[in-house]
Amino acid sequence: MKRVLVTGSAGFIGFHLAARLLADGFVVQGLDGMTDYYDVALKQRRHQMLLQNPSFAATEAMLEDAGAVRTLVESFAPDVIVHLAAQAGVRYSLENPRAYIDSNVTGTFNVMEAARAQKVQHLLMASTSSVYGANEDMPFCETDKADTPLTIYAATKKANEAMAHSYAHIYDLPTTMFRFFTVYGPWGRPDMALFKFTDAILNGRPIDVYNHGEMYRDFTYVTDLVHGIRLLIDAVPERPADPAGIAPGDSLSPVAPYRVVNIGNSEKIRLLDFIDAIEDCLGRKATRNMMPMQTGDVPATWANADLLKTLTGYRPETPFQDGVAQFVTWFRDYYQK
Ligand SMILES: NC(=O)c1ccc[n+]([C@@H]2O[C@H](COP(=O)([O-])OP(=O)(O)OC[C@H]3O[C@@H](n4cnc5c(N)ncnc54)[C@H](O)[C@@H]3O)[C@@H](O)[C@H]2O)c1
């Protein structure tokens, strides 16, 4: 399996994944619509970095353009598709829900159609810890019910999981859905806390801390995350011959080559400790603007990553202090601050 199509290749995770796959000798085709949800120059810069490798090619197209997606998949003939392009962001989904339906529901459908027409060997797609919604039992396991999404973002990702299961069942399309937990690191997203806090502290602006700081996240370092993805590419789900033989804790479907896998650090970090780490790296204190809980937000996330470990032998391990330091070094260098 040497040819991989990565959608969202100009995005934060897609960029890191493409770079990792190129380093491992894969031929990578990127697809990205360069949406203006955040700074397009940052996306262009990521693509420019990847294009230095002759085994990478980039196509600019929107997922909603079914013809463009199908033509690209036909001409590139990937063995594997890793579908990461999406309208991301929990809070923005309250402002512009339609963008999530268009990119995540219609767009993902177009990717699935192209994948099954091409008969790819493995389709891997991004879901999110947000599908655990209002669940309170922690850490979150893939086999837990996930029927209470709190935002349209979470709902579209849950819809993607259901859509993918049906295609895996009908077309025997091996499919893995990742549930990512708050990913952070160099080249990160400007709409996410680490980027916003670093930028605000360096520019003397206050930072908004929601739920009065009583927030916990399972922060996952991007290099660990893409290592997990890289290993899962080879863990192709197979339709079980005997559903009774599915191991406890395995989310494998009884009727399809389909599985959901958490990729998280398996550590619940207090947001205030995360902010302390940013301050330590910057050598400056933040002005903390304590705010109430936001609609649609959850107070905590925490991954059970045992299934990832069982399937790949790997468990993410970067301590958040180290990951924050890597981010701050990149940020200061990139923005010359
Ligand atoms: N970063 C996280 O913490 C996190 C957590 C959970 C899940 N995820 C999921 O992981 C995936 C990657 O996230 P990311 O953090 O790299 O986000 P990102 O916004 O940096 O990357 C997404 C990329 O997809 C592109 N895109 C968006 N809509 C498109 C469309 N309709 N057509 C074509 N391209 C489109 C964007 O231009 C962007 O470059 C997403 O599916 C996201 O929902 C991310």
Both ends of the chain: CA-CA distance in Å?
42
Catalytic site includes residue 153: yes
Please tell me which residue in 37, 92, 132, 153 is annotated as part of the active site. Answer: 153
Check pocket membership of 15 for ligand 1, CB cut-off 6 A: no
Burial class (CB in 10 A: 0-12, 13-18, 19+), 224: buried
**Residue 63 alpha carbon, nearest atom of ligand 1:** 32
CA of 262 to the centre of ligand 1 (A): 17
pLDDT value for 147? 96
pLDDT value for 296? 93
| Sequence-ordered strand ranges (E) for 48-146 | 56-60, 80-83, 122-128
CA of 13 to the centre of ligand 1 (A): 7
Which amino acid, residue 199? Answer: D
- Helix, strand and coil content of the chain, in percent to the nearest 5, comes to 45, 15, 40
Check pocket membership of 8 for ligand 1, CB cut-off 6 A: yes
DSSP designation for 243: G
pLDDT value for 256? 98
Check pocket membership of 266 for ligand 1, CB cut-off 6 A: no
Check pocket membership of 84 for ligand 1, CB cut-off 6 A: yes
- Report d(CA 80, CA 234) in Å as an integer: 10
C-beta of residue 256 within 8 angstroms of C-beta of residue 221 = no
Q: Which single residue is written with the structure tokens 């559903």?
A: 243
**Which of 5, 7, 13 most suits a substitution to test ligand 1, by most atoms within 8 Å of the C-beta?**
13
Q: What is the pLDDT along the chain (337 residues), one digit of tens a residue?
A: 699 999 999 999 999 999 999 999 999 999 999 999 999 999 999 999 999 999 999 999 999 999 999 999 999 999 999 999 999 999 999 999 999 999 999 999 999 999 999 999 999 999 999 999 999 999 999 999 999 999 999 999 999 999 999 999 999 999 999 999 999 999 999 999 999 999 999 999 999 999 999 999 999 999 999 999 999 999 999 999 999 999 999 999 999 999 999 999 999 999 999 999 999 999 999 999 999 999 999 999 999 999 999 999 999 999 999 999 999 999 999 999 8
**Residue 189 alpha carbon, nearest atom of ligand 1:** 20
Listed by start position, the domains of the chain span 3-181+221-265+304-317
CA of 47 to the centre of ligand 1 (A): 14
- Report d(CA 274, CA 280) in Å as an integer: 10
CA of 46 to the centre of ligand 1 (A): 13
Closest C-alpha residue for ligand 1 atom 7: 128
**Which of 5, 6, 12 most suits a substitution to test ligand 1, by most atoms within 8 Å of the C-beta?**
12
CA of 12 to the centre of ligand 1 (A): 7
**Residue 88 alpha carbon, nearest atom of ligand 1:** 43
3-181+221-265+304-317 — its CATH code? 3.40.50.720
pLDDT value for 103? 98
pLDDT value for 1? 66
CA of 305 to the centre of ligand 1 (A): 22
Which amino acid, residue 181? Answer: F
**Which of 17, 46, 84 most suits a substitution to test ligand 1, by most atoms within 8 Å of the C-beta?**
84
